[in-house]
Structures are given as C-alpha cells and as structure tokens.
Amino acid sequence: FAQPQWGTLPDHRAQVQKVRAAFVEKYGVEPDGVWSAPGRLNLLGEYIDFLGGSCMPMPLPYRTYVAGKLREDGVLRANSQQMPGDERTVIIRDIRPGNLKGWFTYVAGVAWSMNQEGGRDICLPKNFGADLMIDSRVPVGGGLSSSAALECSTALALLDLSCPLRADCDDTEEAPSDQSSGNDELRARLAQVCIKAENEVAGARTGGLDQTTSLRSKPGQALVVDFRDFSIEPIEADLDSANLSFLVINTNTPHELAGGGFAARRAASEACARALGLDYLRNALPEDLTCSTLQEREAKLWRLNLVDEKTTLALDALECSDTPPDFPRGWVRHAFHDMTLVERAAYLLKNTSDLGQPAWEELGRLFTESFVSMRDELRVSRPEIDLAVATCLERGALGARLVGGGFGGAVMALIPSDKVDDAAAAVARAYAESGFAAPEFLPMVAGFAADKDF
C-alpha cells in the first residue's frame, strides 16, 4: 500500500547556505547578501481580496531564497535552481509588460514595477543592476504562492542591493536588514509594487493576498487583512495548546488552467460590483460583519439573502448586456459567502482561549463550508481535491478545504494532532486506489515574513 510521502521542514540556515553556494558556483564570486520570503497558507477567504473582502492567511515555513550581488551596468541577470540551465538577462530600463516570457517575468517585473510605482526610496538608480540566484522550498504552482515568495524576496534583494548607489541611503548603522525589514509602511508599498509586477508583467490578475502575507506577516501569527485599505491585524493561532494541527497536502495536480478560470471569475465579480454602483463588491454587505454569536451569524446570513436579491437584479442586468449566457451567479454568491465566513472565523480564532474547543470545532466547519462553496458555486475544485477533503473529514478533521485559486493545488485540514498520521496514510491510500499521482504532505508551523538573511 502507498505510504504517505512527507516533506521535511526546511532548515532555514542550511537553505541560506545552499543558495549562497549555488550563487558562488554559477557566478564565481560571493554574493553581497541573501534574502528570503515565505509562501502562504490561506486559512480562509478565496477570490475576495480583489473585491475588498477580508482574508485570513498565515506565512508558511517554506520560503524562496534569493542570493544577489550588485552590478553597476543596468543589467539584471537571474538563474533559478527550479529552472536549471535557463539563465535570463535583461537591461532593466528595457523591461516592459509583454516583452518577456515565463518565470523571469516575476523577477524582472519587480524591477520594472519598483521604477514605475515605487516612490523615491524604492525606485532603482539608473545604473543599478544585479546578479541573482534563486532557490525555493515553496511548491511551484501548488496554490501556496511560490509566485509572491519569488516577487517579495526579489523586491527586498533589489532594494537592499541598490542601497550603495543611493545618495540618501543609510546602510551603515543598525542591523543590515533594517533598510528593508523594519517598517510596515515601506513593506505595504513594496507589496503594491509586487502586486503590480504580477498583474502587469507576469500577467496574472491576482489580488494582494499573497504579497501582503509574504511581506507583512508577524512571526508565528495569522493575519486578518482588510483589502479595502490593506490594513492588517495579526492573530495568534495557538493550535498546540488545543492539540490541533494543520495538515497541508500538495495534491501535485497542475493548475495551469487557473490563468483563464481565475481571470473570468475575477472579471465577473468586478462587473457585478460595477453594476451595483460599488467600488468594491464587499461594500454591498453591511459594514460590520463581525458576528460574536451564532444567532448574530444567522441574522447576518439572512441579510445576505437580501443582498443576494439585489445582486440578482444586477446579474440579470449584466446577463442582458455583454456577459456570456452561462454567466454563473455562483461566482458572486461564493464571494459574499466567503466574506461573511472570514469575519466569523476571525472572531473565533481571536477568542479560542476563552471559547475553547467549540470555537475550534466551528472554525473547522467554516473551513469546510467555504470548500463546499468553492466546489459548488465557484466551481474550482477537481476530483483529487474533493477526495483529499473527504478523506480528511472521514478521518477526524474538524474541517478541510482547498487553498488558493483552485483547479488543483493544495488542501488544508484542521485536525487533532494525534490523527494527522492516520489521515495522511488514508489520503495516500485513497489516491493510489483512484490512480491519482501521489500527493505530498507538508509539515506546517507558522513562518515569518520576508527578510534579509545575512
């Protein structure tokens, strides 16, 4: 019978040394520094960041590492351990949306975006260039945001490497990481820079969830991010004292389809917001969605139905105009549903020490509710995902869901720690019996935000 394949928690110091050694081997000199940024586990709130909803992510212990060295000829050169033999070079001032292809767009896009959007302290000096070596422990294309981990580690690397070329850059005092790591205001702007790079140069119209988590998380904590103003609230997620774990399963199913599928859903939800006369679809719901009691949640859900009616009218109007005839209302219903779930889940997570086990149990149910909505309304699941979720629930998980944009990717379960091994074995077995590719199980502890590593 199939044994579960467990990944290992990366040894951060060893990863830093590894990318450094790869840099020396490729370029024949020592790098000036190493920077790294985490992928993210989104606990709740999918397809709503770009609609002004709130999401509840957590940084992963799996990171992307970038070793870099300054050059002063305006050239950006990069190699990635995940793309062996595919060295890329570009003159930074020649980078434009559309004139590069493939993985390098995520790297070069950041340099371009820093110059477009960055403000004086982020804009790269004219003759600035760099050699980069990239190595990642975030599964690539697995719904855990290797793309943001790459952008955010690159952004910090370029910012710090350019320091000696900036007249007003004070590099001398305090810890070397201070330039890039200290300040949430600067990090919030860097997140916008990375979002613009992903949207306009890499061509993926994702919202800001991934970059915000990677740059602005607090060590060991989850975040609630309100995407109307990108404000963040860190929350302690003390699973240990409740004897609970997050089981993260990389289903090893490709999600290339996500390109078109994601963009269509985003466009439809945004069109609905416009038809309602709103900046953000989130604003169709009451301002305060916090539900401190279950009764309150019922009441809010009832009000949701009213919103649903209003939305239906808007959708009717849309369907008469330029949307395709099969325009799925469920895409929009999912968004409203997840927006209310996150508010309730955030309340529960903040109060687990007072509310105890029932709070964890309800949190688990909310995870599963969100999954059902992603499967039936948003329709971004696939058989491998459904099987992993169902098997985890059968084996005692309090809840389980698809993480990320869907069409493949990762599944997460909230599960008693003493049931993790049994659930993993059951999922591995079920996959083998169904003839699916073997999944990988990733040990999970909360990580920390992007930083300079030496």
What are the residues binding Mg ion (CB under 5 A)?
Answer: 145, 147
Helical axes 146-161 vs 209-216, angle rounded to 10°: 50
Contact partner at residue 252 from ligand ADP, Mg ion, none, CB < 5 to 8 Å by partner kind: none
Residue 80, contacted partner among Mg ion, ligand ADP, none, CB below 5-8 A by kind: ligand ADP
Selection from ligand ADP, Mg ion, none that 134 binds (CB < 5 to 8 A by kind) is ligand ADP
Range 385-404, binding ligand ADP (CB under 6 A): 404
CA distance 119 to 123: 6
Q: Which stretch binds ligand ADP (CB under 6 A): 140-148, 320-328, 362-370, 388-396?
A: 140-148
CB of 210 to Mg ion, least distance (A): 6
d(CA 338, CA 280): 15
DSSP, collapsed to helix, strand or coil, labels residue 389 as: helix
CB distance 246 to 41 below 8 Å: yes
Residue 237 CB, nearest distance to ligand ADP (Å)? 22
Write down the least CB distance from residue 83 to ligand ADP, Å.
5
Residues written for the chain:
454
Rounded to a whole number of angstroms, the minimum distance from the CB of residue 107 to Mg ion is 14
The minimum distance between CB 258 and ligand ADP, in angstroms, equals: 7
- Single-letter code of the amino acid located at 294: L
Catalytic residue among 32, 49, 160, 210: 210
Tokens of 343: 């508010």
Place of tokens 């070397």: 176
- Contact present, 163 and 91 (Cβ < 8 Å): no
Number of residues binding to ligand ADP, judged by CB under 6 A: 19
Q: Distance between CA 225 and CA 210 in Å, rounded?
A: 11
Tell me the closest approach of the beta carbon of residue 106 to Mg ion, in angstroms.
9
- Give Dmax over CA atoms of the chain in angstroms: 65
Binding mask 50-89 for ligand ADP (x = CB under 6 A): --------------x---------------x-xx------
* Residue from the set 115, 147, 250, 373 that interacts with ligand ADP by CB under 6 A: 147
181-189 — which CB contacts under 8 Å span 24+ positions?
181/156, 181/449, 181/450, 181/451, 181/452, 184/216, 184/232, 186/121, 186/122, 187/215, 187/216, 187/449, 187/450, 188/212, 188/215, 188/216, 188/230, 189/118, 189/119, 189/122
> Cβ closer to ligand ADP: 212 or 352?
212
- Kindly tell me which of 190 and 304 has the beta carbon lying closer to ligand ADP: 190
Give dist(CA 76, CA 161) in Å, integer.
12
How far is 207 from 158, CA to CA, in rounded Å?
23
Q: For Mg ion, give the closer residue by CB, 147 or 162.
A: 147
Phi, psi of 270 (to 5 degrees): -70, -35
Is the Cβ of residue 132 or residue 430 nearer to ligand ADP in the bound state? 132
CB contact at 8 A, 228 and 48: no
* Closer of 147 and 311 to ligand ADP (Cβ): 147
The number of CA neighbours under 13 Å toward the Cβ of 35 is: 29
Concerning whether 376 is annotated as a catalytic residue, the answer is no
203 binds ligand ADP (CB under 6 A): no
In terms of CB distance, is 145 or 269 closer to ligand ADP?
145
Closer to ligand ADP by CB, 37 or 315: give it: 37
Each residue 415-434 as x (binds ligand ADP by CB under 6 A) or -, in order, gives --------------------
**Per rule CB under 6 A, is residue 106 in the interface with ligand ADP?**
yes
> Which sequence positions are flagged as catalytic?
210
Binding residues vs ligand ADP (CB under 6 A) = 64, 80, 82-83, 103, 106, 134, 136, 140-147, 150, 204, 404
